[in-house]
Every structure is written in structure tokens, then in C-alpha cells.
Structure 1
Amino acid sequence: MVTTLLVAVICLALAFDFINGFHDAANSIATIVSTKVLTPFQAVLWAAAFNFLAFFLIKDHKVANTIAKTVPEHFITIHVILAGLIAAITWNLITWWFGIPSSSSHTLIGGFAGAGMTNALYMHVNPIEAVNLGPTLQIMAFIFLAPVIGLVFGVVINIFILHICKNARPATAERWFKRLQLVSSGALSFAHGGNDAQKVMGIIYVAMVSQKVITNGAVMPEWIPLACYSAIALGTMSGGWKIVKTMGTKITKVTPLEGVSAETAGAITLFVTERLGIPVSTTHTITGSIIGVGLTKRASAVRWGVTINLVWAWVITIPISALFAGIIYSIIQFI
């Protein structure tokens, strides 16, 4: 039976997906806006269209399955999911307000795990047992691996492009790379939608399993991916200009050629990890790609002070989200 609380959780999950869209819109449009290939309004429409396109082409939902397995089924209740979502939305809005490009993915995972661990404490069980260590450690490892992979791809792709275009006229090359940025930013937006919308699909799925609306292992109802892709696309259309400024201008100055390199590197990383079912952060990936592109010029081209602050934000996202979720779950217990 569909309960009022389940409906509220689904609405909150879609709200998180919407916030994820405008929080992470900068990932796919920051470079295309900073190089003036598209206006901000044109860029968000372009990115939103490719976010939604993933609904038609990605059907395996491996990332959603990984998210659903973060917390063992017997520790999952509707209140655990509710607390995790409220914590994730809270941290996302705080980081958006201060223009910090933290990971929406890790915020959601931290909130879900933190609420599950708090539930275990109330059950007088070791809280570590409330976390499936295999998928969780894999997710945590990619906090650091995703930006490094993006960085490596960014360096390799940028050097390759510079080599094949070394004899091109600068004006002609810039004109072509401005056009190619439409392709690379579209690919990155597609990968962003395909990776990030699945995380909310996983949360909605386990919420429905916890309420016995569907059985664990059943095929995901088609309305879940449709709703999630729609929510993230609508969120992307609403922008997120504080983070666009950080991603597009504060890490390193980006030309159209470098924009193509960074976006292509980010898209490749996300495509590969999505196929492997690893829920990585789009934010971490594209940041690493932008740094890699900057390094091909010189190390001083990267503003390392800004970069170190971003890394600290990444490191604290999961524990802070988990702490928020634990507090919120405890409050819910007394209501």
C-alpha cells in the first residue's frame, strides 16, 4: 500500500534530484559559458536536453543498484530514507549558497549511510554493520580516483589536440573548437544525467521496497527513471550561477580548445564508471579534468589555493552529511 510518508519521501527524492540539477549544472556548462560559446540561458537549455536524453538510451541502471545496496535491507526503514534525504538536501543547499562545488552524489550516500548507522545504534547493533563495506569503500575510493582519472584524461586529450592542431591558424582553430564545445558539453551533460539521476532512482526503489510496494529484486517501474531524469533536467534549467563562477573561472582560465579537452575527459570518465556501476561525482570528475588541462600549460596556471579548498569540501561531505542524517533521524524518532 502506498502510504503518505512514502509519497513524501518520493517527493523529497525528486526535490533532491532537482537540486542536484541546478547544483551540478555548472559541471557541464561552466566552460562553455566562460568561453562565451553559449549564453548562460542557452547553455542550461542545452545541458538540460542532454540530461533528459539519457532516459532513452541508458536502461541498465547499474549505478542505481549500487546505491540501493549501500545500506543492508534490514536496516532500511522509511524514516532512514527520509532522514538521509533531508540531510542531503540541507548540505547541498549550504554548499550551493557558498558556491562550493561539492558532490551531490556523496551527500546522498553520506546521508543514507548516516541514517542507517543511527538506526543500527537504536537497534543496539554495531553501526558498521549498517553499511555494506564493499560498495561504500568503492564509492569513497572514487572521491580521489575520479578527479585523478579526469585529470589524466584531461592532460592526454589536451596534449593530443595541441599536437594535431599545431599548424592550424589560431582564428580558424578557435572557431572550430567553439563548435566542438557544443558536442563535448552535450556529452558531459548526457553522462551527468545518466550517472546522477540513477542515484535518486536507487533511493526511491529502496523506499518502495521498505514499504513492501515492490519486492526487492523486482524490475524498477518505468515511471521512476522518467521522473528522475525529468527532475534533474528541470533543475539544470534553473542554473546554479555561484558554482558556474567557481568552476569556469576560479580554477584556471579556460579557452575553447581546453574546454573541449576538459569536457571530453570528464564525459569519458563518467561513461566508463557508469558502465561499471560506480556512482562517482560529476563535480570531482570535471574539476580533475579542468586541472589536468591547466597543467598542460604550466603548474602555476592552476589556482592551487582554490583547488585545495575544493578537496577539503569533498573530504568532509560524506561525514557531515552522515552526521546531519544521524541527528535528523534521532529527531524523527521523538516525533
Structure 2
Amino acid sequence: MIILVLVVVTALAFDFTNGFHDTGNAMATSIATGALKPKIAVALSAVLNVVGAFLSIAVAAAIAKDLVDQSVVTLPLIFCGLVGGITWNLLTWLLGLPSSSSHALIGGLIGAVIAAVGMHGVLWTGVASKVVIPAVLSPVIAGSVAALGTWLVYRSTRRVSARNRQDGFRWGQVASASLVSLAHGTNDAQKTMGVIFLALIAHGSVKGSDDVPVWVILACGLAIGLGTYIGGWRVIRTLGKGLVEIESPQGMAAEAASAAVILASSHFGYSLSTTHVATGSILGSGVGKPGAAVRWGVAGRMVVAWLLTLPSAAVVGAVTYGVAHLIGGAAGVGVVFVGMLALAGFMAYRARATLVNADNVNEEWEGGVAPASASVHAGV
């Protein structure tokens, strides 16, 4: 029971990091264009994330049943997978890189399973169909939709002054950003629900055929909502200012494209990366606007982080499982838990060096310099 409690607490901690890491997916462009004030944006996003968590459990079922063999899952294994996801989330947050919380979590679980029982413990067909293929296709689809939408918007309003166009699309941007927040809660909160459900199955509290308990849905919704309200300002800055100098029409097109792709994936149970979708949409909005400048160097660094997410989180999951298994029992899990807290504390300390917050998140981007530079080093 002690290990189960630690697993649930760690899962909700991951959900919290998911919230502040992914706030920018919904609200970065609205903040960048001034459609919403920063603190209002994250508060609105937090509420809608909580609401979205109650709309579907298809992704939670995929996490719990389609990616790893339930018969080999143990509580220490799940715990170490979560540590892998949290570690990658905190590292990429510190560097200001919008990476996938979903892939970090799945990578951590896969690494822990492989360390525990070998490759056969992973359902590779499910990983390919539910994770890898959507990861490749989703940013391309979202980017294409956003590019077309942006081109149509500017084409149809070419006789409208730039100022009037900007003002006219701000309310539409608020609505589309709200829809992305709702979609994010529908997709991302479910991933932690699925992990806690796996833990309850391993503990014997529920059966694999049962529904996800209501208390799990509520706890995960509140955790991701609180994380969203805290606001991952570094990642918001990268998405809102680092990729494209964005205007309201672009922001609305990007957010509408993101919401459509995320909601469709939630309906079909795909464990989609909302970060990949949002980034693809923002890049598409830059491609679709005549004369817009896209910082492809920043985008390239983000893609590198995407490629490293699954294997890096898997390595952390595998190593921490090895440590926990070597020590054994609750003591092994406790040692890993303390190590995770120490690492999180160190990253939080480094983040205090130079803060990015609601007051400076919209400062002008310094050319192609990544936000991990000395001028904007770290912070929530």
C-alpha cells in the first residue's frame, strides 16, 4: 500500500508537470498577440483542462491496455516509468524546449518494462499504431491545415487594414485557444489516468475490465489544471515568440487546427503529443502567411528534442528500475523517490537564475537565439 500511494502521488506530480509544460500548446499564441493577458490565459486554460478530463477515457484505456503487457506490470515498474517522464519534462522545461510529455511518460514506462522483463513485455504493435504513427503524422497534418487556414484568412481579408484584421480576429483566437485547452485536458489528463489505473490493476484494487474510477479522473483533472495555472512561461515564450512573429489571424488558424487534430485523436484513443500538434500548427501559420519569417533553427532544436524524448525517458526508467530492484521493496522505491525530489529541487534552483514569467514572457525574441541563452535562462 505504501508503494501504491507513492506511485499515485508521483503520477499526479507527473500530471502537474504535464500541465505547466504544455500550457503553451493552448495559450502561447493568444498571449503573444495580446488577445489574452498572460495570467488570465493560464487561468482560463486551467479550468478548461479540468473540464476536458471528464469528456473521454479512450486514451486512458489505450495507455493502460495497449502499450505494455498488464501481466508483467508491477508497482515499482510503474513508479520508475513515471520518474523517467518527470525527469525529461523538467529538463526540457529548464531548457525552454516544447517536448512531448506524452512520449516522456510512455518512454519511461517502456524503459522500465524492458529492464524488468525484456522486450517481450512491450506491445510493439500498440506502440506503433497508438504512439509512433500519430507522432509522425500529427504535426504534418496540423501544420498543413493551419497553413491553408492562414492563407485563406489573409486572402479573404487582403483589403482590410492590418490593424483592423488584428483586432477583428482576437475574439476568435480566444475561442480557438479555449477549445485547445479543452482538447488538451481530454487527451493529456487521460495519460495519467491510464497509469494510475495500471497501478491499481497491479495492486489488485481493480480489474483490467473495470472502468477508470471517478476519483482518478477528478484527481488527474485537478493536477493538470493546477499545473496549467502555474504556467510554464519558458515554453510559452518559445512557442509564442520563438518560432514565428505571430498575429491574431495566424493564432486563430493555428489553434483551430490544433483543436481539431487533438479532439479527433482523443476520440480514436491515440496517445497524441499535443506539443507536436501545437508546434506544427504554429509553423504552418508562418508558412501560410505571405512574407512571414519562420525561425527554422529553433524548430530544428525542438525536433531534436522530440526524437530524443522516447529513448531518453526510457533510459531513465530502465536505470531507476535497476536501482529500485537492486535495493528491493519499499526501500528501493523510496531511494528513487528521494533522488527524484533532489533532482527536481536542483532544476528548480537552476531555474531561479533568470526567470521567465508573466511580466516578461512577451519580450522581443533575440533573433534566432534559443531561450536557453543567458538573457532568458530559466523559470516558470
TM-score w.r.t. length of structure 2: 0.83
Q: Which among 22, 25, 39 is matched to residue 24 of structure 1?
A: 22
Q: Would the aligned equivalents of 1:143 and 1:314 in 2 still touch at CA under 8 Å?
A: no
Aligned residues: 325
Give the structure 2 partner of residue 236 of structure 1: 228
Map 1:1-335 onto structure 2 (within 5 A). Answer: 3-56=1-54, 58-59=55-56, 61-68=57-64, 69-120=66-117, 127-138=118-129, 139-297=131-289, 301-335=293-327
* Displacement after TM superposition at 1:199 (Å): 0.4
* Displacement after TM superposition at 1:7 (Å): 1.0
Residue identity over aligned pairs, in percent, reads: 37
Measure, in 2, the Cα distance between the counterparts of 1:40 and 1:13: 27
* Displacement after TM superposition at 1:181 (Å): 1.1
Measure, in 2, the Cα distance between the counterparts of 1:254 and 1:302: 10
Q: Would the aligned equivalents of 1:102 and 1:317 in 2 still touch at CA under 8 Å?
A: yes
* Displacement after TM superposition at 1:157 (Å): 1.5
User: 1:70-92, CA deviations, whole angstroms, 9 ceiling, x for partnerless residues?
Assistant: 11012211111010011111111
* Displacement after TM superposition at 1:299 (Å): 8.1
* Displacement after TM superposition at 1:40 (Å): 1.2
Runs of 4+ residues deviating >6 angstroms: none
Letter in 2 for 1:49: V
Q: Would the aligned equivalents of 1:107 and 1:317 in 2 still touch at CA under 8 Å?
A: yes
Ranges in structure 1 where 5+ consecutive residues have no aligned partner: 121-126
Q: Would the aligned equivalents of 2:151 and 2:290 in 1 still touch at CA under 8 Å?
A: no
Letter in 1 for 2:261: T
- The farther-off stretch of 187-196 and 167-176 is 167-176
* Displacement after TM superposition at 1:159 (Å): 2.1
Measure, in 2, the Cα distance between the counterparts of 1:116 and 1:75: 8
Q: Would the aligned equivalents of 2:196 and 2:216 in 1 still touch at CA under 8 Å?
A: yes
Measure, in 1, the Cα distance between the counterparts of 2:216 and 2:259: 24
User: 1:162-182, CA deviations, whole angstroms, 9 ceiling, x for partnerless residues?
Assistant: 233333344333222111111
* Displacement after TM superposition at 1:242 (Å): 0.8
* Displacement after TM superposition at 1:42 (Å): 0.9
- The farther-off stretch of 139-148 and 321-330 is 139-148
* Displacement after TM superposition at 1:26 (Å): 1.1
* Displacement after TM superposition at 1:128 (Å): 2.2
Measure, in 1, the Cα distance between the counterparts of 2:301 and 2:135: 15
- The farther-off stretch of 38-47 and 198-207 is 38-47
Letter in 1 for 2:82: L
Measure, in 2, the Cα distance between the counterparts of 1:240 and 1:175: 26
* Displacement after TM superposition at 1:8 (Å): 1.0
Q: Would the aligned equivalents of 2:151 and 2:289 in 1 still touch at CA under 8 Å?
A: no
- CA RMSD, aligned part only? 1.3
Measure, in 2, the Cα distance between the counterparts of 1:143 and 1:273: 11
Q: Would the aligned equivalents of 2:180 and 2:256 in 1 still touch at CA under 8 Å?
A: yes
* Displacement after TM superposition at 1:300 (Å): 6.9
TM-score w.r.t. length of structure 1: 0.94
Measure, in 2, the Cα distance between the counterparts of 1:164 and 1:297: 12
* Displacement after TM superposition at 1:28 (Å): 1.0
Q: Would the aligned equivalents of 1:53 and 1:190 in 2 still touch at CA under 8 Å?
A: yes
Measure, in 2, the Cα distance between the counterparts of 1:117 and 1:45: 39
Measure, in 2, the Cα distance between the counterparts of 1:206 and 1:273: 21
Ranges in structure 2 where 5+ consecutive residues have no aligned partner: 328-380
Residues 119 and 42 of structure 1, relative CA distance in 2, 3 Å threshold = same
Give the structure 2 partner of residue 123 of structure 1: none
